[in-house]
């Protein structure tokens, strides 16, 4: 009897100790101290190597720490010890599918979500996530089927309905998509993604003016809710015909005249970009100059766009001034150095243009081969073939697989009368192109 009491007492102590460790891990997770929580969970697993709950917990921690491979291994272990896990087999497959999706292993993720559905045919999130995956892989008919099933299981879920509509649009089922989106907005007028997709529907139906009104309304509401501009693709920028462009211009004028603060700034940026795309550089620069003058060019993109517009109209000195200012404000902006080199080139200031290109080579390793090549071209223009060869040699060192660089250097050797070196470069270019 006494021995039995001791065993029970020890068991209680172990249970209490394990409970204490769990509470400690939970506390570390709440404080986002994942590394410490992982270490403690690993210690627990050494004592309880068949505990599926601990494997699932550690898999979650590995995922938070950006170690998907280790997370997947632990999910596999949790599946082997399912009876002691606090997750179902379907939930574990779903979790593994999420991780496979994150690392781009889409076929494995598809298999995981399919197995999750087989284990639990009523798992609406499983269908929805497989639908997301089908959209990523552009399997639109399959995505339509999966979202439809998710929505059948959870008809109240407006997010599923929006994704169902998105898949229908992608699959060319425009009227069905519009019906779903109208139902979402009838139930929840604040569902902004539904409003954006409905605008897209009207664009696809060639109802461009309806699209413009809906989309500009969406942009304003999005900013009011999130205090940031939407990162959605603007089909506004694809509007080309003169009638639609005039309508868009008038609509943007109305928005700018009846808003203020950062919302007005957003619409002014859009108008400037639309004007630039339609080669109304003077109108675009008027907007951009106002943003710059009012200190509303928060990321210097207005200054960069204005410099670009000056280049399009061959106002090289104005472009040079803007690019120089941009480099002062953002010294590592490689586009500014490249733009300023072009402005110098337009002003026939070749030494200065080359100097900017060489600065670019020091700022960005990936840009360096093209910068050396552009510097070589400038030297060729003034018949400095020896210096051009030096720059081309530097470019080839950084991009030895680029056949064109060898061929271009061969031409400069020919200009110097060095046929032997030219022939070697031509041979190298031919070998690379085989």
Q: Which residue in 298, 255, 253, 248 sits closest to 277, CA to CA?
A: 248
Answer for the pair 95, 75: CB distance below 8 angstroms, yes or no: yes
CA pair distance 373, 361, nearest whole angstrom: 11
* Number of helical (H) and strand (E) elements in the chain, helices listed first: 23, 0
Please tell me the predicted confidence (pLDDT) of residue 6. 40
Other CB atoms within a 10 A radius of the CB of residue 337 amount to 25
Which residue's entry shows tokens 């680029």? 402
For 377-406, b/e burial (b = at least 16 CB within 10 A) is bbbbeeebbebbbbbbebbbebbeebeebb
Contact 193/218 with Cβ under 8 angstroms?
no
Whole-model pTM: value is 0.80
Distance, in Å, from the CA atom of 340 to the CA atom of 330, rounded to the nearest integer, reads: 13
d(CA 304, CA 373): 24
Q: State the pLDDT at residue 23.
A: 66
Count of CA atoms in the C-beta half-sphere (13 A) of 365: 2
Q: How far apart are the first and last CA of the chain?
A: 87
pLDDT tens for the chain, residues 1 to 434: 444 434 333 333 344 344 456 667 788 888 888 888 889 989 999 989 999 999 999 999 999 999 999 999 999 999 999 998 889 999 999 999 999 999 999 999 999 999 999 999 999 999 999 999 999 999 999 999 999 999 999 999 999 999 999 999 999 999 999 999 999 999 999 999 999 999 999 999 999 999 999 999 999 999 999 999 998 878 999 998 999 999 999 999 999 999 999 999 999 999 999 999 999 999 999 999 999 999 999 999 999 999 999 999 999 999 999 999 999 999 999 999 999 999 999 999 999 999 999 999 999 999 999 999 999 999 999 999 999 999 999 999 999 999 999 999 999 999 999 999 999 999 999 999 88
Chain-centroid distance, C-alpha 211: 25
Degrees, nearest 5: CA angle 365-395-381: 120
Say which residues have a Cβ less than 8 Å from residue 74's Cβ, sequence separation at least 6.
55, 56, 58, 59, 62
- Predicted pLDDT at 309: 98
């Amino acid at each position: 009897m006494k021995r039995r009491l001791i065993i029970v007492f020890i068991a209680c102590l172990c249970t209490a100790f394990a409970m204490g460790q769990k509470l400690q891990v939970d506390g570390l997770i709440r404080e986002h101290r994942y590394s410490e929580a992982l270490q403690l969970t690993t210690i627990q697993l050494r004592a309880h190597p068949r505990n599926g709950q601990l494997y699932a917990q550690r898999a979650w921690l590995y995922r938070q720490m950006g170690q998907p491979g280790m997370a997947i291994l632990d999910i596999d272990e949790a599946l082997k010890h399912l009876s002691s896990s606090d997750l179902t087999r379907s939930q574990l497959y779903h979790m593994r599918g999420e991780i496979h999706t994150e690392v781009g292993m889409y076929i494995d993720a598809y298999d995981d979500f399919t197995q999750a559905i087989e284990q639990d045919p009523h798992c609406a999130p499983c269908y929805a996530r497989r639908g997301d995956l089908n959209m990523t892989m552009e399997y639109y008919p399959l995505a339509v089927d999966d979202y439809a099933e998710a929505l059948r299981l959870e008809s109240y879920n407006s997010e599923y309905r929006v994704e169902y509509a998105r898949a229908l649009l992608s699959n060319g089922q425009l009227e069905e998509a519009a019906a779903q989106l109208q139902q979402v907005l009838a139930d929840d007028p604040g569902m902004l993604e539904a409003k954006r997709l409905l605008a897209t529907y009207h664009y696809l139906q060639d109802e461009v003016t309806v699209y413009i009104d809906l989309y500009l309304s969406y942009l304003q509401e999005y900013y009011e809710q999130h205090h940031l501009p939407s990162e959605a693709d603007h089909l506004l920028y694809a509007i080309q015909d003169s009638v639609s462009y005039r309508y868009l211009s008038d609509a943007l004028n109305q928005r700018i005249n009846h808003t203020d603060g950062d919302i007005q700034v957003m619409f002014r940026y859009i108008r400037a970009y639309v004007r630039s795309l339609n080669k109304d550089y003077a109108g675009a620069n008027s907007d951009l100059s106002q943003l710059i003058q009012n200190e509303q060019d928060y990321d210097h993109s207005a200054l960069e766009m204005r410099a670009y517009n000056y280049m399009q109209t061959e106002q090289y000195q104005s472009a040079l001034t803007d690019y120089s200012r941009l480099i002062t404000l953002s010294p590592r902006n490689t586009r500014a150095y490249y733009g300023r080199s072009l402005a110098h080139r337009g002003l026939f200031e070749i030494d200065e243009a080359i100097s900017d290109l060489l600065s670019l080579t020091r700022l960005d390793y990936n840009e360096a081969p093209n910068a050396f090549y552009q510097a070589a071209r400038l030297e060729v223009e003034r018949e400095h073939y020896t210096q051009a060869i030096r720059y081309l040699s530097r470019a080839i060192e950084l991009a030895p697989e680029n056949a064109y660089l060898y061929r271009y250097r061969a031409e400069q050797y020919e200009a110097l009368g060095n046929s032997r070196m030219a022939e070697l470069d031509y041979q190298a270019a031919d070998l690379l192109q085989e």
